């Protein structure tokens, strides 16, 4: 299955993606994780991405798209993937469609994790990642509203909404039910 995961920062996409990846047998490809791995290793890509991430801004699309393209070409992503954190803008969605079309592929669906802003702020503050301070969180929520939320309209009928309030297993069961109904 080829799926995109959407939702505001702190919606729990990463947690759900890890479980879904195991159940569906496809890799979890998280742009945030890829950036953080590059930052940890001190690669040129990591050095470039770090200033944007620390400020809560989007890393430039050309850099991000190149990283995603090369990850999608790896062997384990041939038959499916869960893309988490990409696309984050309509421009990135168009790039993804182009990449998939070139490879003769298409998405099976777009899972949208639905959760209120006050819940995500609480979750992010509790998580305490380097970019989870109050100011950065506010910036990221603004970026989400302005740049990422329009993807819900962009994907239209491909959107599969999941209520992302509740415990991890419950949310996962909701997602699996909807995915099973797709087949």
6: DSSP letter: E
Q: Which two tokens stand for residue 174?
A: 């909701």
Binding-site annotation, residues = 10-15, 31, 36, 57-59, 85-88, 92, 127, 129, 140, 166
**Torsion, Cα of 28, 31, 32, 36 (10° steps):** 100
167: DSSP letter: -
Under the binding rule (CB under 6 A), the answer on residue 58 touching ligand ADP is yes
Stretch that binds ligand ADP, among 56-64, 70-78, 93-101, 105-113 (CB under 6 A): 56-64
Q: Which two tokens stand for residue 69?
A: 């393209």
CA 176 to CA 94: how far, in whole Å? 27
Under the binding rule (CB under 6 A), the answer on residue 59 touching ligand ADP is yes
Binding mask 87-106 for ligand ADP (x = CB under 6 A): -x---x--------------
Under the binding rule (CB under 6 A), the answer on residue 52 touching ligand ADP is yes
Shortest CA distance to 2 belongs to which of 90, 113, 92, 76?
76
Under the binding rule (CB under 6 A), the answer on residue 28 touching ligand ADP is no
For ligand ADP, the closer CB: 86 or 155: 86
Are residues 45 and 31 in contact, defined by beta-carbon separation less than 8 angstroms?
A: no
Binding-site annotation, residues for AMP = 31, 36, 57-59, 85-88, 92, 129, 140
Give residues in contact with ligand ADP (CB under 6 A): 9-10, 31-32, 35, 52-53, 56-59, 64, 85-86, 88, 92, 140
């Amino acid at each position: 299955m080829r799926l995109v995961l959407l939702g505001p920062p702190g919606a729990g996409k990463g947690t759900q993606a890890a479980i879904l990846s195991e159940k569906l047998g496809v890799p979890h490809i998280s742009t945030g994780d890829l950036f953080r791995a590059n930052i940890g290793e001190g690669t040129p890509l990591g050095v470039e991405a770090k200033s944007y991430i620390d400020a809560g801004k989007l890393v430039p699309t050309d850099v991000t798209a190149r990283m995603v393209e090369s990850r999608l070409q790896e062997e384990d992503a041939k038959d499916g993937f869960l893309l988490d954190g990409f696309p984050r803008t309509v421009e990135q969605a168009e790039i993804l469609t182009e990449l998939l079309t070139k490879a003769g592929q298409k998405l099976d669906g777009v899972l949208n994790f639905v959760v209120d802003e006050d819940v995500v702020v609480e979750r992010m503050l509790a998580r305490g990642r380097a970019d989870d301070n109050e100011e950065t969180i506010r910036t990221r929520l603004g970026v989400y509203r302005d740049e990422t939320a329009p993807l819900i309209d962009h994907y239209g009928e491909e959107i599969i909404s999941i209520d992302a309030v509740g415990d991890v297993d419950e949310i996962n069961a909701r997602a699996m039910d909807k995915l099973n109904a797709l087949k």
